[in-house]
Structure 1
Amino acid sequence: MIDISQDIHSLTEFKRNTTEFLQRIKQTKHPLVLTVNGKAELVVQDAESYQKLLEAVELLETLKGIKLGLEQMQERKGKTAGDFFNELFDKLDSSQ
């Protein structure tokens, strides 16, 4: 989570004190927002925290897909598993 009082700095300040900022990012695991002309332009984050973020997004996308599938099933949209596999096997047979 970003701490507005400590995690927003100018790109110029980051360039001058890169080592200090990198140590802080590794220690706190907080991303750092860098500004250019007073506007947020970049976010710097340690690799481990970024990987966790990617995994969380992937899980969210998976859950959204499952939710959509369940909604479609309740609305009687889509195909039964049997129909799906029959079509799949038909396609595989015809491609050989």
Structure 2
Amino acid sequence: MFDPEQVTPLTEFQRNAKEFVKRLHKSGRPELLTINGRAAVVVQDAAAFKSMIDRLEGDYLHEAVQVGIEQMEAGKGRPLSEVVRDLKSRRAGAQSRRKSA
């Protein structure tokens, strides 16, 4: 969760936005902004946010590949030629429905 030092009222952030942005750039850590003492939004340096998203996407891709490997090992895979044929068939069907609409 958040360190208490990284929880700030929104009004304080608004009064000192430039200083907060400098701190966000320097720390790379997100900060929680509150309204009336309740969590409202999280702010973070753009480069740190991009890095976090890249890691999450990498984790997601790794997990998806792992699931695919497990499915193939369990005999649940399909030959590539069959998949390509099915995709072409679906695409042709979608195009003919658009033309008739």
Shorter-chain TM-score: what band?
Answer: 0.7 to 0.9
Output the aligned Cα RMSD.
Answer: 2.4
**Cα offset for 1:89?**
8.8
Normalised to the residue count of structure 1, the TM-score between the two structures is 0.79
- Number of equivalences: 92
Secondary structure of the corresponding residue to residue 40 of structure 1:
strand
Greater share of residues in helix: 2
What aligned pairs does 1:16-55 form with structure 2 within 5 A after superposition? 16-55=15-54
Normalised to the residue count of structure 2, the TM-score between the two structures is 0.76
**Cα offset for 1:80?**
2.4
Deviation per CA, 1:1-47: give whole Å up to 9, x if none.
84x13111010111111111111111111111101111111011111
What aligned pairs does 1:60-71 form with structure 2 within 5 A after superposition? 60-71=59-70
Listed as ranges, the gaps of 5+ residues in structure 2 are: 94-101
Listed as ranges, the gaps of 5+ residues in structure 1 are: none
